[in-house]
Each structure stands twice: as structure tokens, then as C-alpha cells.
């Protein structure tokens, strides 16, 4: 019987780039920027990493269809590298692969990294993702933009539970207000200006009922994490999140 991963995995290092319009860097440079911070945070040597997962969705404009560019760019120590892709959850998919590998006992220390160079694609406004999936996609789901697809979920929820459009709009607006407030505090965030509920609710409609501030911005950036077992984390002197020890960030977090 499945037992899950609770108390089987700990995050010992994290790192990320500055997000935004990174015209000065390619995907490989962004990976290196995030990885070096993550490695320093973990306080381990690169050779301790036993396997790695790369998450990148737009392979046509990034590093191609394999994880080999990550292994080369980061000079990983002759280990297995795997590329995963799952649309908006691509970075999470890479993290899940690394976590499950540790939880299963297959490896002791693994790396998960996500990277995108979206600004190079011109991916803004209401782009149709169908071009990457052939003619059949256009016939099956014409004009299936990301805002359009998520807007259908919001509209369906309102219809099913008889929630007025203005109430759905205000409920969703809390997410944008919270996210912009957090971004204003983060020097690496792309958008660093707080917004009010009224600004969000009165913003131009992109795909009803979603407005401008309900839709994601388009950024370049990378983030990564190093995971291991709680036992190894303790041997490395890591403590739970919120407790620090030594020069490392000490960002261990149980999963």
C-alpha cells in the first residue's frame, strides 16, 4: 500500500535568477545563475548530486528536447539527467521527479531545475499554443489560449454554483493582490508594484471574467532545488525552515 513521501525528503538548497526580460542571457546562462546560488545554499559539492531533472516547456526556443544541455552547462558529474514538460506545471514536474527519486531510495541527493526563455518567443497577449501541436490541435481546440482556457473554468464554476460574475471577479482578484504584494518585497521578481482590489477588478478584460491582472506576465528565468533524505540533511547540519546555522541559508524543508 502506498505510503506517500511525508518525512522522506528534505530540501537543503534553493536558488533562482532574477526574473524579467533577460535579453542578455540564454537558457544555459540562466541555469548556471540559479544553480550556483542553489549549490552554495545547500553547502555541498557538485559531485554529491546523483541525478537531475530539467523542466522546460518551450524546447523549440530553449535547449531542445533533452536534458543534455543542463548536464553540459552545469558540468554535472556524469549523472543521469531527465527533461520533463507539463505546460504550466513543468517546473513542479521536475521537482516531483527529484523528490520521488529520493523518497524511493534510488538516490540520496538529487537536483531539480526549471528554466524558460519566454521573451524570445514573442509569447504575449493571447497566443494560441496550437502551432506546437500540429494541424489537429487547431481543429480540435481553435483559439485555445491560456487565458481563454482558464476563463472557461471560472465561468463554469459560476454557472454551477450560481455565483455572480462580479463576485467571481473579486474572489480571483485576491490572488493578484497577494502575488503583487509578495513581488514588491522580492528583488528578483519581474513585477514589483503592489496593486489594489479596485485596480484588479477594473482592469481591462482579457478573457471574461479574467482581466489584465488575473493573467500571468511573460518572463525569462530559472529556479532550482537540491533535495535529499532528512537523515543526510541532519548530517549536513541543516535545520528546519526558519532556523539557520552557519554560513548556509539552512532552508531545509520536510516534504
Nearby residues of 248 by Cβ (< 8 Å), 6 or more positions away: 13, 40, 41, 42, 43, 237, 238
Would the pLDDT of 232 be above 50? yes
Percentage of the chain beyond pLDDT 70 is 84
Q: Look up the domain containing 98 and give its range.
A: 10-122+218-254
Span 172-217, pLDDT tens digits = 999 999 999 999 999 999 999 999 999 999 999 999 999 999 998 8
User: Does 134 map to a domain?
Assistant: no
Per-residue pLDDT band for 120 (boundaries 50, 70, 90) equals: confident
State the pLDDT at residue 2: 86
Q: Residue 70: count other Cβ atoms within 10 Å of its Cβ.
A: 29
In this structure, the answer to whether residues 118 and 15 fall within a common structural domain is yes
CATH code of the domain in which 106 resides: 3.40.47.10
In this structure, the answer to whether residues 45 and 85 fall within a common structural domain is yes
User: Does 83 map to a domain?
Assistant: yes
In this structure, the answer to whether residues 238 and 199 fall within a common structural domain is no
In this structure, the answer to whether residues 18 and 94 fall within a common structural domain is yes
In this structure, the answer to whether residues 52 and 116 fall within a common structural domain is yes
In this structure, the answer to whether residues 38 and 75 fall within a common structural domain is yes
What does pLDDT average to over the chain? Answer: 88
In this structure, the answer to whether residues 98 and 167 fall within a common structural domain is no
Per-residue pLDDT band for 247 (boundaries 50, 70, 90) equals: very low
Distances (CA, A) of 114 to 31, 64, 145, 158, 163: 8, 14, 22, 34, 37
User: Does 102 map to a domain?
Assistant: yes
User: Does 136 map to a domain?
Assistant: no
Q: How many domains does the chain have?
A: 2
Q: Residue 209: count other Cβ atoms within 10 Å of its Cβ.
A: 18
Query: Taking the model in full, what pTM does it have?
Result: 0.86
State the pLDDT at residue 57: 87
In this structure, the answer to whether residues 96 and 159 fall within a common structural domain is no
State the pLDDT at residue 62: 65
In this structure, the answer to whether residues 25 and 46 fall within a common structural domain is yes
Mean pLDDT score, 229-243: 86
Mean pLDDT score, 146-168: 92
Tell which phi-psi region holds residue 242, choosing left (phi > 0), alpha (psi between -120 and 50) or beta. Answer: left
State the pLDDT at residue 1: 85
In this structure, the answer to whether residues 30 and 106 fall within a common structural domain is yes
Mean pLDDT score, 119-146: 61
Mean pLDDT score, 65-74: 94
User: Does 131 map to a domain?
Assistant: no
User: Does 110 map to a domain?
Assistant: yes
In this structure, the answer to whether residues 113 and 224 fall within a common structural domain is yes
User: Does 100 map to a domain?
Assistant: yes
Span 40-61, pLDDT tens digits = 999 999 999 999 999 998 766 6
Between 253 and 9, residue with greater pLDDT: 9
State the pLDDT at residue 127: 59
User: Does 129 map to a domain?
Assistant: no
In this structure, the answer to whether residues 23 and 86 fall within a common structural domain is yes
Amino acid at each position: 500500500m502506498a505510503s506517500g513521501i511525508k518525512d522522506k525528503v528534505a530540501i537543503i538548497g534553493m536558488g533562482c535568477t532574477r526574473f524579467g526580460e533577460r535579453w542578455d542571457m540564454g537558457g544555459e546562462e540562466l541555469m548556471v545563475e540559479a544553480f550556483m546560488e542553489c549549490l552554495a545554499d545547500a553547502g555541498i559539492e557538485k559531485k554529491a548530486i546523483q541525478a537531475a531533472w530539467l523542466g522546460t516547456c518551450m524546447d523549440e526556443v530553449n535547449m531542445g528536447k533533452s536534458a543534455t544541455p543542463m548536464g553540459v552547462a552545469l558540468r554535472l558529474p556524469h549523472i543521469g539527467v531527465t527533461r520533463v514538460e507539463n505546460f504550466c506545471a513543468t517546473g513542479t514536474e521536475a521537482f516531483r521527479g527529484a523528490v520521488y527519486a529520493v523518497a524511493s531510495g534510488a538516490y540520496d541527493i538529487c537536483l531539480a531545475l526549471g528554466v524558460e526563455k519566454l521573451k524570445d518567443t514573442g509569447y504575449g497577449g493571447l497566443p494560441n499554443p496550437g502551432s506546437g501541436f500540429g494541424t489537429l490541435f487547431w481543429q480540435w481546440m481553435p483559439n485555445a489560449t491560456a487565458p481563454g482556457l482558464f476563463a472557461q473554468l471560472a465561468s463554469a464554476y459560476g454557472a454551477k454554483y450560481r455565483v455572480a460574475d462580479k463576485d467571481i471577479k473579486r474572489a480571483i482578484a485576491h490572488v493578484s493582490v497577494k502575488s503583487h504584494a509578495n513581488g514588491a518585497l522580492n528583488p528578483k521578481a519581474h513585477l514589483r508594484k503592489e496593486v489594489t482590489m479596485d485596480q484588479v477588478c477594473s482592469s481591462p478584460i482579457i478573457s471574461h471574467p479574467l482581466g489584465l491582472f488575473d493573467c500571468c506576465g511573460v518572463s525569462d528565468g530559472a529556479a532550482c532545488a537540491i533535495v535529499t533524505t532528512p537523515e543526510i540533511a541532519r548530517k549536513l547540519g541543516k535545520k528546519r525552515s526558519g532556523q539557520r546555522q552557519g554560513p548556509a541559508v539552512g532552508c531545509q524543508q520536510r516534504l
